[in-house]
Amino acid sequence: MDQVEIDWEPAREANRENWDERAVLHVEAYGLDAFDDPAHLSDVVRTDAAALAPFLADGLDGLDVCHLQCHIGTDTLSLARLGARVTGVDFSGPALDAATALAARLGLSATWVQTDVLDARAAVSGDFDLVYTSIGTITWLDDLDRWAAQIAGLLRAGGLFYIRDGHPVLYGLDETRDELVLRYPYFGDGSAQAWDEAGTYVGDGTVTHTRTYEWPHPISEVVNALIGAGLRILRMEEGRSLPWRFSPRMTEAGGDYVWPEGERDLVPCTFTIIAKKD
């Protein structure tokens, strides 16, 4: 990893090229055949729906939901299976092509919008009861104030925002070490972290556009961006497990991944925030 100064547009374009290729690989690696069972939901949405349940009197049924950074639509369509009217937003054309094909195959209704998440309000029609984003999202964004403004703009009065993502403390760890060692910055300074990796987080395929850019965001930045956009924080949680293997030392537990026993209380793996637009 290199710390670099780069403008948003070229960084975003490099990331889009990488995710265009990942989308094709993930169609093969995500185990989409499981969705042929009408009762099947993604593990991510099972967890997130349970976290949202205390804040939704009637669950997701009948709600207008906008899923930001929806990728190939597995979580979006899981929300649809729970009764939501869904709009999925992503910057990758191949990802939304895959999402469209999966929705058609499953006979599920969804609207797909190709746009940068930082321009979502201008590109997406309508107002929403829930704006949802989960797992592997905001490190790809350089400006969380602009991100939060899109969320607030998409929500109708009384609507909820939900995010679950990798914890910034986790992202500071050296995933290759045999013990918990901090290596990468927790606090951002506006510069990007540049990575060159041919692999992806699932499956054995590789990409040719290997260069990507991410930005560290401490928890305080996430919370303050949402508050600054006019949202009221209802709940925050920190979790001990992940839906992907961050480090080779992590072991599988109930479909998620955890640190070896004895380390699980030392570092948070995820954070979850639920906020409301009054």
pLDDT of residue 172: 97
Count of alpha carbons within 13 angstroms of residue 5, beta-carbon side: 0
In the block, residue with structure tokens 């992907």 = 244
3-state secondary structure the chain: CEEECCCHHHHHHHHHHHHHHHHHHHHHHCCHHHHHCCCCCCHHHHHHHHHHHHHCCCCCCCCEEEEECCCCCHHHHHHHHCCCEEEEEECCHHHHHHHHHHHHHHCCCEEEEECCHHHHHHHCCCCEEEEEEECCCHHHCCCHHHHHHHHHHHEEEEEEEEEEEECHHHHCECCCCCCCCECCCCCCCCCEEEEECCCCCCCCCCCCCCEEEECCCCHHHHHHHHHHCCEEEEEEEEECCECCCCCCCCEEECCEEECCCCCCCCCCCEEEEEEEEC
Domains of the chain (ranges, CATH numbers): 2-238+268-277 (3.40.50.150)
Each residue of 58-107: pLDDT tens digit?
999 999 999 999 999 999 999 999 999 999 999 999 999 999 999 999 99
Q: Are 102 and 35 in contact (CB under 8 A)?
A: yes
Rounded to an integer, what is the distance from CA 247 to the centroid of its chain? Answer: 18
Instruction: Using pLDDT thresholds of 50, 70 and 90, give the confidence band for residue 246.
Output: very high
Residue 255 in tokens:
């479909």
Output the pTM of the full model. 0.96
State the pLDDT confidence band at 204, using cuts at 50, 70 and 90.
Answer: confident
Measured CA to CA, the distance from residue 84 to residue 179 in angstroms comes to 42
Tell me, what's the pLDDT at 31? Answer: 87
Q: What is the pLDDT of residues 30-66, one digit of tens each?
A: 889 999 999 999 999 999 999 999 999 999 999 999 9
Q: What pLDDT digit, counting tens, does each position of 125-159 carry?
A: 999 999 999 999 999 999 999 999 999 999 999 99
Rounded to whole angstroms, how far apart are CA atoms 267 and 179? Answer: 12
Average pLDDT over residues 110-135: 97
The C-alpha atoms of residue 227 and residue 167 are separated, in whole angstroms, by 19
Contact of 121 with 154, CB cutoff 8 Å? yes
